[in-house]
Structure formats: C-alpha cells, structure tokens
C-alpha cells in the first residue's frame, strides 16, 4: 500500500471504461455498432481519466495468468535477481544470464502486443485517421529473421519490499512509447487525471484486465490531441507484466497525418527521429532525477509537462479556444468538444449535467487563446518570409552562375539582359570596404555624410556598417552607400574638370 508520505488517492475513484478487446480488434468490412461504441468509450475514458481498461478473451487471460505465476516462481527461485526485474524482447538473442527466464514470455508478448496495436488503431480512428496510419512506425509482424523487437515486456516482482518493512514512494512517471499495458495480480498503480487528482486505477483489475496508459511518443505524433498519462507505482509487492509499444529506431515521428485530417499542429511538434526522441527523453529523465532532493518541485515540473498550446486547444479539432464557454461545474470547452458536450448534456471531465442555458463565455480563456494564436501566426509568417528570402537569394546567385560569364580573376560578369533581370539584389561592396553614408528618407540624419566600414553582408542588398568616428552600427541598403574613392573622383571632375584632366592625362609635349 502507499506510504503515509505520499498523497492518498481520491476518495471517489472514477469508473474507467472497460472495453472488450474483441470489439476493438481490426477487421475488414464495414464498421459495426459494437466497434464504434468501443472506440468512443476507450477515447472518452482516456480524455476524462487518462486511463482505460481492456477486457481480454479467456484464452489471453489464461496466458497472462500463467505468465504472472511463472514470474513469482522465477524470482523466488533466483535470489540473485535482487531487483525483481526481467526485460523481454521478442527476437533478441539471449545472453548467458538470460538462459533461465520466466515461462510463457513468448505467448504473453504476443497477446499484449496484439492488444496494444488494437488500442492504437482505435485511437487513430477516433481522431479521424486511418486505423493503420501508425503501422509504419512499428515493427513488422512477424519480425524479420535476426531482428529484435523495439517493444518490450518488463516482468517485475519485488517480494523484498514487503520484507524490508517499507513501501516505495511512488514518483510520477510517463511512458516513452505509444501504448503501455499493465497486467498484475494486485493493485498498486495510481494515475493523475486531467484535473490533477490522483486515483487508484487498477483497483478492480486482474490478469484478465489490462490497464491502458498512453505515452509521449503517441502524444507527439498526435500533436498533443492524445496527451500522455502520468502514473506512479504505490505497491510493488506484486507480480506484474508491463508491455510498452515502442516505435522502431529508424521511424520518423511526425504529425503529417494529423495535419491532413484537418487538425491544428502547433510549431512545437516538429518531425524527429525516434532514436533522437528517446535520447532526449532519457536526458530529461536524468535531469529530473538529479533534482530528487526537491521532490515537490520535480513533481510540479513533471505534472506541468503539457504545453500551453495543448491546454488552450480543442481536444477534437485542435483549434484554439477562441469561443470558449464555461459550465456551471467550472470546466471550459470550445469548438467541436463544446458541441459534443451540449449534445451529450454531460461534462466530459466530471460527468456533471449541462444545461445549455447556463453556459456563458469564458472571456479570460478566450483572450489568452487569441494572444497565443496571434503569436503562432506571427511566428509562422516570420519563418515563411525568412525561408522565401533565403530562397530568392539562392536563386539569384544560381542565376548569376548559370547566365553570367567569369573572368580569369573569378569575378562574375552579367550581360545586359541578366543585369536588368537581377537588378533587384545587388552586392556592390565587400566586407571591410570603406564607404560614405549618403542616406535616403529612412536614414537617420546623424548618420548621413559619415564614413563607415562594411562589417557584414545581409539579404537583399543590405549591409551592416559601422561608423568610423563613433563606432555606431546601422543596417543600410546598398543605395544608401557610396564608395569613398568614387565620390572623390566625381567631386574632383565636377569642381575642377580641366585641372583634373590635365593632371590625369598630361600632354605628350
């Protein structure tokens, strides 16, 4: 049981949806009412309680019951397994230490993998995606020869915890993969719901029921529409099987299917390789563990993991909550979820009754959502404009190389047509050259007439220059600058044309 130092679970344990695996199993042909109800019940339970329960067929339940019993017998017969953990991966070549392993691992891995893939397909269907949209991120079934599975089955049993007289503290955790399924012979996992309340999630589960939790990889590929589940283990004096459905190492985690389905994809969800994604999570977990001396602060940071944009977005459409309405129970909704709440006449979070006449606008939430949306739009516009400028400069330079001739000294020479076509972007100066600021209407008066030095070249014919006398820097276009020697020659020819010509071209006599 949980120690007295850890918060006790909520007195009112929520009723998690119990979905039969047989109803979620993928099949060919038209959908059935049972399948639709199962998909809706599973996703609704994940939205309200961050967890769900899967009812297994009798044959699968018997396999898992056998695996749990063999796990207890295995760890009791092997005292050197002090931690009470055994990691199984299908297709892995066993080491010398793995010659002895719990029985039924192959069958248990197959049953749990089948259940996890069915749940992943149901989540994809609920988000208006194809049920096989995530299959390319998973291992092939069956596995190729000499290839180990990326998914894993963790077998645990810690009878020493009971003998030592204390229970584990139960730090908050989040799974790294897509789906996590837990089968155990005793309860001991608490889950944090979207309201921040902890509750005992597997109090009524057994070998025939699987506790389903979602991980960070699934949250990333769904752009936060399916947030990850926070859980903690409060009783390890039990045998348990924990299956993690993981992406293969060469997979690219991206949100293009979510975007194609019409959902909003915030900028924070960028494509990333699965190996890099897992490495980043390992580094983050190490950073959190280094601050274990301040558990309250680390727990607060852990629970604040969902991004601000995911909180301010509709869980169904992904649109910002610019039309947010608040219910009498205090929960706010907008977009498609608001329509669904009105149709059901029930709050999807607390299950309280909803009267459409009592709804009123949540002005504060609307204002915050509007500000964040404007910031996202501004950032998108800025990034698009920057990419366009870089593309234009690259095309102009490629055009110079293709159409212009080259002298022996390497200078590019433009013909008449190309000089007219590429007149928009010119770079007549080089870094380190001395120039005079002649200015234009936008140039500050204090810089006009001063000599400066070119310090760097910018896009579209702009330069960053530094004045010689004061050392101030300013960004100016090439039309606002003149070469110092060129201006001196023009001045001399204008003021003393005859003297200048005679000095430059003396007569032969």
Is the domain of 114 the same as that of 252? yes
pLDDT above 80 for 20 = yes
Nearest to 215 by CA among 121, 153, 281, 154: 281
Sorted by sequence, the CB contacts under 8 Å of residue 253 that are 6+ apart come out as 137, 217, 220, 221, 247, 271, 272, 273, 274, 277
What secondary structure letter does DSSP report for 235?
A: -
**Angle, helix 295-303 to helix 274-289, in steps of 10 degrees:** 150
Q: Rounded to an integer, what distance in angstroms lies between the CA atom of residue 207 and that of residue 60?
A: 9
Residue 457 belongs to a domain: yes
Query: Can you tell me whether residue 18 is helix, strand or coil?
Result: strand
Is the domain of 78 the same as that of 215? yes
Residue 508 belongs to a domain: yes
Residue 122 belongs to a domain: yes
Q: What is the pTM of this model?
A: 0.57
Cβ–Cβ under 8 Å, residues 317 and 335: yes
* CATH at 485: 2.30.30.140
Lowest-pLDDT choice from 18-22, 187-191, 297-301:
297-301
Of 260, 285, 306, at which residue does a domain stop? Answer: 306
Nearest to 48 by CA among 271, 406, 355, 347: 347
* CATH at 146: 2.60.120.330
- At 46-63, the pLDDT tens digits run 998 999 999 999 999 999
So what's the pLDDT on residue 423?
A: 44
Q: Rounded to an integer, what distance in angstroms lies between the CA atom of residue 318 and that of residue 208?
A: 35
Query: Can you tell me whether residue 273 is helix, strand or coil?
Result: strand
Sorted by sequence, the CB contacts under 8 Å of residue 294 that are 6+ apart come out as none
- At 291-326, the pLDDT tens digits run 544 444 444 444 444 556 667 777 666 677 888 888
Give the DSSP letter string of 475-507: EEEGGGEEEHHHHHHHHHHHH-HHHHHHHHS--
pLDDT above 90 for 217 = yes
Domain range for 494: 429-509
Q: Rounded to an integer, what distance in angstroms lies between the CA atom of residue 320 and that of residue 349?
A: 19
Give the DSSP letter string of 174-227: E-SSSEEEEEESS--EEEE-TTS-EEESSTT--TTEEEEEE-HHHHHHTTTSSP
Sorted by sequence, the CB contacts under 8 Å of residue 472 that are 6+ apart come out as 447, 466
Who wins on pLDDT, 299 or 19?
19
Give me the number of domains the chain comprises: 2
């Amino acid at each position: 049981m949980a120690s007295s130092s850890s918060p006790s679970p909520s007195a009112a344990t929520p009723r998690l949806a119990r979905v039969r695996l047989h109803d979620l199993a993928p099949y060919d042909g038209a959908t059935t009412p049972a399948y639709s109800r199962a998909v809706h019940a599973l996703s609704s339970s994940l939205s309200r309680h961050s967890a769900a329960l899967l009812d297994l067929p009798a044959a699968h339940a018997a396999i898992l019951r056998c695996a749990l019993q063999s796990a207890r017998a295995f760890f009791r017969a092997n005292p050197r397994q002090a931690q009470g953990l055994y990691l199984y991966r299908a297709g892995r070549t066993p080491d010398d230490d793995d010659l002895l392993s719990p029985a039924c691992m192959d069958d248990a891995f197959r049953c749990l993998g089948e259940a996890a893939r069915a749940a992943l397909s149901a989540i994809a269907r609920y988000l208006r995606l194809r049920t096989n949209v995530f299959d390319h991120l998973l291992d092939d079934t069956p596995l190729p020869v000499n290839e180990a599975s990326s998914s894993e089955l963790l077998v645990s049993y810690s009878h020493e915890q009971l003998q030592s007289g204390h229970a584990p503290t139960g730090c908050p955790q989040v799974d790294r993969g897509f789906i996590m399924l837990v089968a155990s012979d005793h309860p001991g996992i608490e889950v944090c719901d979207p309201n921040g309340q902890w509750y005992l999630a597997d109090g009524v589960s057994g070998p025939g029921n699987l506790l389903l939790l979602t991980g960070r990889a699934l949250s990333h590929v769904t752009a936060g529409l399916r947030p990850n589940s926070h859980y903690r283990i409060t009783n390890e004096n039990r045998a348990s099987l924990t299956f993690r459905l993981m992406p293969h190492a060469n997979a690219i985690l991206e949100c293009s299917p979510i975007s194609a389905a019409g959902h909003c994809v915030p900028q924070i969800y960028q494509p990333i390789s699965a190996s890099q994604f897992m490495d980043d999570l390992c580094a983050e977990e190490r950073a959190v563990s280094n601050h274990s001396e301040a558990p309250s602060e680390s727990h607060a940071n852990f629970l604040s993991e969902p991004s601000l944009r995911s909180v301010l977005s509709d869980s169904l459409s992904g649109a910002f909550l610019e039309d947010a309405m608040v219910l009498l129970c205090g929960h706010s909704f907008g977009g498609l979820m608001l329509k669904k709440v009105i149709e059901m006449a029930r709050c999807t979070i607390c299950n309280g009754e909803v009267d459409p006449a009592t709804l009123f606008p949540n002005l504060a939430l609307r204002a915050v959502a509007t500000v964040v949306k404007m910031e996202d739009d501004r950032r998108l516009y800025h990034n698009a404009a920057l990419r366009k400028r870089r593309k234009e400069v690259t095309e102009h330079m490629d055009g110079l190389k293709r159409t212009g001739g080259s002298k022996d000294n390497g200078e590019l020479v433009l013909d008449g047509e190309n000089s007219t076509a590429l007149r928009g972007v010119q770079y007549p100066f080089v870094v380190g050259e001395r120039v005079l600021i002649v200015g234009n209407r936008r140039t500050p008066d204090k810089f006009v007439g001063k000599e400066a030095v070119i310090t760097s070249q910018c896009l579209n014919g702009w330069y960053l220059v530094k004045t010689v006398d004061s050392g101030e820097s300013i960004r100016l276009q090439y039309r606002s600058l003149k070469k110092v020697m060129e201006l001196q020659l023009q001045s001399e020819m204008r003021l003393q044309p005859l003297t200048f010509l005679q000095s430059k071209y003396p007569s032969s006599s």
